[in-house]
Amino acid sequence: MGQKNKSFIFNEAMSWLRDIIIAVIIALFVRQFAFAHTVIPTGSMIPTIQIDDHIFVSKLSYYFSDPQRGDIVVFHHDVDLIKRVIALPGEEIDLRDGKVYINGEPLEEDYLNEPMDTGITGFLEFPYKVPKDCYFVMGDNRNYSKDSRYFGPVHRDQIFAKAGFRIWPLKSFGFVK
């Protein structure tokens, strides 16, 4: 093998190495600041999200806007959790007659599997006014979800992503609503 051939192989290997390093850096950047993959460990969001569903979440969503009622958010509370935003900052939430009331009006929740047991109030007293910069979140599987009823409202700074796209199982492939 001649010197020219060795030089070509070395240059080609360096070119590949450079491309791989750039790809890894881009992937790490995207993972850290834009999107992440998560596997759902519990049934607190059934029927919307099942145990072991694989979800892509968008970390970009809340850089430019605040969470809205109905958004499925990922936040940190000792561990990362995924729940639905039910009440916004400054709103009054009440749980009675098997329903959620926001500022005295019943909340339409077509995503629930069964009527909510409003006797399950956790540690909060209702009606409850959501503090400034906080959100009241609940799992869709209300009767079996540990949520804001137990750990209180979630501060805006704890929310870091919005559920976006289910990639597994394939039969449920698509946007999470």
Q: What is the pLDDT of residues 123-145, one digit of tens each?
A: 888 899 999 999 999 999 988 88
The full set of domain ranges for the chain reads: 1-33, 37-175
Give me the catalytic one of 59, 61, 83, 148.
83
42-98 pLDDT, tens digit per residue, is: 888 888 888 889 988 888 888 888 999 999 999 988 788 899 999 999 999 999 988
12-52 pLDDT, tens digit per residue, is: 888 888 878 877 877 777 666 667 778 788 888 888 888 88
Q: Which residues of 70-83 are buried (b: 16+ CB within 10 A; e: fewer)?
A: ebbbbbebeeebbb
pLDDT at 34: 66
Give me the catalytic one of 44, 61, 145, 148.
44
Q: Is 83 a catalytic residue?
A: yes
Asked if residues 73 and 162 have their Cβ atoms less than 8 Å apart, the reply is yes
Q: Is 44 a catalytic residue?
A: yes
pTM of this structure: 0.80
Q: How many CA atoms lie within 13 A of 83 on its CB side?
A: 27
> What is 76-99 written as a DSSP string?
EESEEEEEEEEE-TT-EEEEETTE
Q: Which CATH superfamily is domain 37-175 in?
A: Umud Fragment, subunit A (2.10.109.10)
